[in-house]
Amino acid sequence: MDKVVATAADAVADIADGASLAVGGFGLSGVPNELIRALHASGAAELRVVSNNCGAMDSGLAVLLSAGRIARVTGSYIGANKEFARQYLGGELEVEMIPQGTLAERLRAGGAGIPAFYTPAGVGTQVADGGLPWRYDGEGGVALASPAKEVREFDGIPYVLEHGIRTDFALVRAARGDRHGNLVFAKSSRNFNPLAAMAGRVTVAEVEELVEPGGIDPDAVHLPGIFVQRVVALAPGQAAEKRIEKRTVSG
């Protein structure tokens, strides 16, 4: 089945207000910027986003966040995104912070059809006991806090129950992809993109290089096309765009 869609706008046209999205990327690496820009242009709002972080500067999910289009974020890192912190502390944004490895496994589990799993991460903390601020009231108080989770012992060791994540849509970026949706990710962009893609009921991939079926060695495929419903080929200039969050140099 040919899954190529002509434009990013066409690929995200049915993402409605209030939709849940799993979005790939790690920092500014492997972020589906063109799909995010197209979603911003579509006007979709009250979005519920699951992503490691929420972009930075004017890149990635920061485009939607700054426009007030995101209602809830499930993630593991605020970082240097001052607007993210401002909206969260000001009570404008609901935020569920999750240990990074747990977030990765919750996405993978959802995509693999595993409803829940036990992990030692977070035992003895508010992650398990509840009380993490999900939403502030804008005056320094907590309007909504996380609930307590089930804790169970296995071989005398306590583990907390975490639920798999499924979302309405997923937006990801790959280095290469074919018309059947088989994807290859480059370096650190492989961290969260495959997991986000698995979690989405409808997954849209922007690819830097589109090849014909058979153009990718089956042994080199990082994510099989069964998890991908739509593919958008980036123009050369779009594919070449690479942002750097913090530039460091050595003397």
Q: Which sequence spans correspond to the domains of the chain?
A: 8-115+164-240
pLDDT at residue 224 is higher than 90: yes
pLDDT at residue 79 is higher than 90: no
CATH assignment of 8-115+164-240, among 3.90.700.10, 3.40.50.150, 3.40.50.1580, 3.40.1080.10: 3.40.1080.10
**Range with lowest mean pLDDT among 9-13, 90-94, 187-191:** 187-191
- pLDDT score, position 210: 97
pLDDT at residue 241 is higher than 70: no
pLDDT at residue 30 is higher than 80: yes
Burial of 197 (0-12, 13-18, 19+ CB in 10 A): buried
pLDDT at residue 143 is higher than 80: yes
- pLDDT score, position 229: 98
pLDDT at residue 133 is higher than 60: yes
Give the model confidence (pLDDT) of 151-176 as tens digits: 999 999 999 999 999 999 999 999 99
pLDDT at residue 235 is higher than 90: no
Q: What is the 3-state secondary structure (H, E, C) of the chain?
A: CCCECCCHHHHCCCCCCCCEEEECCECCECCCHHHHHHHHHHCCCCEEEECCCCCECCECCHHHHHCCCEEEEEECCCCCCHHHHHHHHCCCCEEEECCHHHHHHHHHHHHCCCCEEEECCCCCCHHHHCCCEEEECCCCCEEEECCCCCEEEECCEEEEEEECCCEEEEEEEEEEEECCCCEECCHHHHCCHHHHHHHEEEEEEEEEEEECCCCCCHHHCCECHHHCCEEEECCHHHHHCCCCCCCCCCC
Q: What is the mean pLDDT of the chain?
A: 94
Structure tokens given for 93: 């944004």
The whole model's pTM is what? 0.93
- pLDDT score, position 236: 81
Average pLDDT of the residues in 212-233: 97
pLDDT at residue 23 is higher than 70: yes
Average pLDDT of the residues in 33-58: 94
The percentage of the chain sitting over the pLDDT mark of 90, rounded to a whole number, equals 84
Average pLDDT of the residues in 82-101: 95
pLDDT at residue 26 is higher than 80: yes
pLDDT at residue 240 is higher than 60: no
